[in-house]
Amino acid sequence: MNERNDTGFNLEMPSVGIIKGVLAKDIEVVGDRVVNLRTCARPYRNIYTASQLRTIKKVSEEYGSGKVHLSPRHNLEIPEIKQKELDRALHELYIAGLFPGGAGTSVRNIFTCPDWCDAAVRPVQELGLMVSHNFGDRDMPNKVTISFAGCLNGCSRPENTDIGIVAIVEVSVDNKACSDNCNLCVELCPFDAIEKDTTGVRLNDKCQYCGRCIRICKDGVLKASRTGFKVLIGGKEGSTVRYGREYKRWVEDFEVLEIIDLTLKKYTELAQLRPGSNRKKERLSEVIERIGFEKFFSG
């Protein structure tokens, strides 16, 4: 049925209780009169406003069971919504900028760490929004996850996602300011990448460009000379965990978009049905394992 009210909000509601054009996994019918609803912001992001959270609270209490689940990719799942109240619930979520989504064989919710984290060597939320605008909800052979991390700590799990983007920083050394009595950078480097002798401090080839030493150094000996991103391809979580492999380093913002676009096109072109399945296609990591990392990007 079509529902229209004075605000001009219009939904086409089939009898099964799923909005036309929305995947069944986003609005899951679990009984004759109850559905589970998955919702997230558009464009995709994992930052919600206080106003949106108040709307989630209101909808879950008025139309559901008062419970909300935060999914691993920060989608919000509201279970046990009365089916007869679904259009009202969706209306209120729509006004708050929240839409059904976050499931299916498509580019999922773009995951970023917060820009206000003091460990970040480069902000990632704005770039994540650009990726969401350009690639969010794109149909794919299987689900695709994309994560951005502002530093090597990787709280957004970029290593175990289909495409992971990690901010890195190159360190320059000014030994004129180095104190003979200070060895903090040497002692606290997690990669044993800093050495010190009578001539001063130097970085060896173990450096992973995390920038932790810059925050430790109080004398200005170690400074950021440039920042960029490294791009990891082919990771995944689940029953078979895979770690993404580094595709390129010192990438700038728009090159990140180009690499994501290339990867998604190659994946769409090369993905096959999983062995023994007549429906499910391979994940990105499975395609890469089958044909090889270099061959995946060649041609």
Which residue ranges form the domains of the chain, and what is each CATH number?
Answer: 2-100 (3.30.70.3340), 111-297 (3.30.413.10)
| pLDDT, mean of residues 114-124 | 89
Q: How far apart are CA 130 and CA 120, in angstroms?
A: 19
Strands 34-41 and 194-197: unpaired
Could you tell me the end-to-end alpha-carbon distance of the chain, in angstroms, rounded to an integer? 49
Edge-to-edge strands of the sheet including 245-251?
A: 111-112, 146-149, 163-173, 222-233, 245-251
**How many CA atoms within 13 Å lie on the side-chain side of 142?**
18
Residue 212: helix, strand or coil by DSSP? helix
Q: Picking from 157-161, 176-180, 281-285, which range would have the lowest pLDDT averaged per residue?
A: 176-180
Range 147-172 average pLDDT: 95
Pick the more confident residue, 17 or 31: 31
Cβ count within 10 A of residue 72? 10
Listed in sequence order, the residues at least 6 apart from 20 whose beta carbon sits closer than 8 Å to its beta carbon are 12, 13, 14
Q: 23, 103 in Cβ contact below 8 A?
A: yes
Neighbour-count burial of 182, counting CB atoms closer than 10 A to its CB (0-12 exposed, 13-18 middle, 19+ buried): middle
- Residue 142 to residue 156: CA distance in whole angstroms: 21
Greatest CA separation found in the chain? Answer: 80
Q: Record the tokens describing residue 181, joined without a space.
A: 């009595």
Whether residue 18 is predicted with pLDDT greater than 80 in this model: the reply is no
Task: Print burial letters for 112-151: b (CB count within 10 Å at least 16), e (below 16).
Answer: bbeeeeeebbbbbbebbbbbbeebbbeebbbebbbbbbbb
pTM metric for this prediction: 0.85
Average pLDDT of the residues in 220-249: 94
Q: What is the mean pLDDT of residues 3-11?
A: 48
More confident residue, 171 or 71: 171
The closest of 113, 124, 141 to 47, measured between CA atoms, is 113
Mean pLDDT is lowest, of 98-112, 129-143, 236-250, 277-291, for 98-112
| Averaged pLDDT, 196-223 | 90
**Geometric angle at alpha carbon 115, from 234 and 263, rounded to 5°:** 20
What is the H or E stretch that residue 270 is in? Answer: helix 253-270
- H or E segment to which residue 224 belongs: strand 222-233
| pLDDT at site 29 | 66
Q: Would you say residue 113 has pLDDT above 70?
A: yes
Sequence letter at residue 146: I
Q: In sequence order, which residues have a C-beta less than 8 Å from that of residue 51 and are 6 or more positions away? A: 96
